[in-house]
């Protein structure tokens, strides 16, 4: 697959496509083969990105590193085909690029790519989007684990979540049997129990929480501000009120309420079993 074909497949924004195609013409991919190959191996991610950024030079909007990573994704596509993983899952997984490019445009008024440190997961094929959720394979203390990530555009209805869990179980059983039966865990502000103070009983977020056993809570983490309000630097009095969650949460925070961060394990029960 060529980069232009990939851009069309992922519906990369036209303005971004134009820059990527121009950089593809002038970047010396031959001179950075080692770095591009290392990005496909989790244990070399950090070194690869550091070296690659040094070779690329100034890259204020991230389009150079984006071009390099999309070239790697073309190789990933061939591996998907080799394994027999569907094009549907490939597109859903790799549309991470498209989604976060648009997110930056919506928040800041321009396209900028700042997620090269994360998308090595998709490139190296340790993370997949299956239905509404993303699943990342990793090892912890020599034990296989699967991290669940919640995309911003996920449909959090119970039926859609259940479908994703079941399809993920079948996916790993088929393509990565070493992860069959691995614990599925999630680390997110969405699991914080204090959200009960600002959400209604029929909230999809609260229903999502019921499928997890909470293992750890960090009360003082402010990551939730980035996801809900776009920044943790905004004074509480000036927080936007564009969504119901923003409106409900603002007075709670002004009253010194805390959200923080929580980690939980997906409960194995009839809700998710095949």
Q: Which residues pair with 145 in a beta bridge?
A: 138, 183
Mean pLDDT of all residues in 117-140:
97
Q: What is the pLDDT averaged over residues 223-232?
A: 91
Please give the pLDDT value at position 141.
92
pLDDT band at 36 (very low <50, low <70, confident <90, very high): very high
Is the confidence at residue 255, as pLDDT, over 90? yes
CATH of the domain at 241: 3.40.630.120
The predicted pLDDT at position 230 comes to 86
Domain match, 3 and 66 both: yes
- Residue 7 and residue 135 in one domain: no
Domain boundary among 78, 104, 125: 125
- Domain end residue (candidates: 74, 93, 125): 125
Domain that holds residue 14: 1-125
**What percent of the chain lies above the pLDDT cut of 90?**
92
Segment holding 206, helix H or strand E: helix 204-209
Question: What does the mean pLDDT of the chain come to?
Answer: 94
Please indicate, yes or no, whether residues 155 and 271 belong to a single structural domain of this protein: yes
Query: Do residue 111 and residue 156 come from a single domain?
Result: no
Confidence check: pLDDT of 272 > 60: no
pTM value > 0.85: yes
Number of domains observed in the structure of the chain: 2
Residues 106 and 167 in one domain: no
Residue 121 to residue 89: CA distance in whole angstroms? 15
Q: Are residues 251 and 269 in the same domain?
A: yes
CA-closest candidate to residue 7, choices 59, 74, 65? 74
Q: Which two tokens stand for residue 119?
A: 């998308």
Say if residue 199 is exposed, middle or buried (CB neighbours under 10 Å; 0-12, 13-18, 19+). middle
Residue-level pLDDT at 273: 47
Looking at the structure, do residues 81 and 146 belong to the same domain, yes or no? no
The pLDDT, as a whole number, for residue 128 is 98
pLDDT digits (tens, 9 = 90+) for 180-227: 999 999 999 999 999 999 999 889 999 999 999 999 999 999 999 999
CB atoms within 10 A of CB 62: 20
CA 221 – CA 229 distance, rounded (Å): 14
Whether 247 and 143 share a structural domain: yes
* pLDDT at 38 > cutoff 80: yes
Check whether 87 has a pLDDT greater than 70: yes
CA distance 166 to 8: 30
What is the mean pLDDT of the segment spanning 83-102? 97
Tracing tokens 């859903």 back to the chain, one arrives at 92
272 and 152 co-located in one domain? yes
110 and 49 inside one domain: yes
133 shares its domain with 113: no
Do residues 117 and 245 share a domain?
no
């Amino acid at each position: 697959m060529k980069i232009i074909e990939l851009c069309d497949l992922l519906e990369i924004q036209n303005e971004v496509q134009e820059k990527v195609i121009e950089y593809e013409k002038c970047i010396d991919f031959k001179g950075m083969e080692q770095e591009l190959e290392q990005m496909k191996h989790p244990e070399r991610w950090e070194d690869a990105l550091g070296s690659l950024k040094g070779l690329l030079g100034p890259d204020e909007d991230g389009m150079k590193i984006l071009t390099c990573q999309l070239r790697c994704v073309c190789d990933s596509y061939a591996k998907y085909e080799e394994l027999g993983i569907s094009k549907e899952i490939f597109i859903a997984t790799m549309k991470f690029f498209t989604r976060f490019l648009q997110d930056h445009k919506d928040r800041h008024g321009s396209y900028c790519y700042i997620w090269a440190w994360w998308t090595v997961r998709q490139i190296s094929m340790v993370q997949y989007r299956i239905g509404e959720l993303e699943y990342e394979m990793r090892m912890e203390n020599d034990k296989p684990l699967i991290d669940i990530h919640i995309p911003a555009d996920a449909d959090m209805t119970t039926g859609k979540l259940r479908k994703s869990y079941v399809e993920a179980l079948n996916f790993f059983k088929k393509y990565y049997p070493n992860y069959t039966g691995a614990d599925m865990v999630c680390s997110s502000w969405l699991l914080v129990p204090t959200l009960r103070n600002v959400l209604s009983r029929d909230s999809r977020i609260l229903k999502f929480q019921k499928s997890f056993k909470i293992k750890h809570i960090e009360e003082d983490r402010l990551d939730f501000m980035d996801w809900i309000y776009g920044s943790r630097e905004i004074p509480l009095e000036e927080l936007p009120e564009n969504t119901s969650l923003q409106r409900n949460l603002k007075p709670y925070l002004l009253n010194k309420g805390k959200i923080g961060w929580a980690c939980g394990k997906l409960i194995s029960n009839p809700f998710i079993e095949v």
